[in-house]
Amino acid sequence: MLLHDAALSYLHFVFAFILAAAIAAEAWVLRLPVDGRVARLLLRIDLFYAIGAVGVIIAGVSRVAWGAKGDAFYATQPFFWAKMATFAVIGLISIAPTRAFIRWVKASKSDPAFAIPEADSKRIRRLVMVELHLLALVPLFAALMARGIGS
C-alpha cells in the first residue's frame, strides 16, 4: 500500500510541476511582442498547462480514493478544501488566457501581419501572473493538510 501511495504522490507532483512550469512559461513568453508565431507558441504551452491540470486532478482524485490516508481524512481537512478552492479559482482564471491564445492564433492565420496591442498582452499576462501567485498557495495548503493542521 505504501508503494502504491508513493507512486500516486509522485504522479501528483510530476503533473503539478508540469502545470507550474507551463504557467511560468506563459508569463515569460507574454513579455514578448505577440505575433502569430508567439501566439502559436502560447497555445502549445497552454496545452502542457492543460495536460498538467488534468494529470493533477486525476492523480489527486486517485490519491483521495485509493491512497493511504483515504477519503475520510481529506473530507475533514479544511486545508484540503482551501487547496481545492484555490485550484478551482486558478482554473477559472485560466479560461480567459486560453480563449485569448485561441483567438490570437485564428486571427494570425487570416492576417500575416498579425500583432496584438501591447495592452491586450499585458492584460492576459496579468491574469497568468495571478494564476502563478495563487498556485504558490497550493503547496502551502497541501503541507498544512498533510499534517492535519486545522482539523
68 vs 106, more confident: 106
Among 148, 48, 46, 60, which residue's Cα sits nearest to residue 98? 46
Whole-angstrom CA distances from 144 to 25, 46, 69, 105, 138 are 28, 29, 15, 41, 10
pLDDT at residue 3 tops 80: yes
Other residues' Cβ atoms within 10 Å of the Cβ of residue 138: 19
Which tens digits make up the pLDDT trace of 82-91?
Answer: 999 999 999 9
Q: Could you give the dihedral angle defined by the CA atoms of residues 68, 72, 76 and 77, in that order, rounded to the nearest 10 degrees?
A: 20
Determine the Cα–Cα distance for residues 100 and 89; give it in Å rounded to an integer.
18
Which tens digits make up the pLDDT trace of 29-40?
Answer: 999 999 999 999
Q: What is the pTM of this model?
A: 0.92
Report the mean per-residue pLDDT for the chain: 95
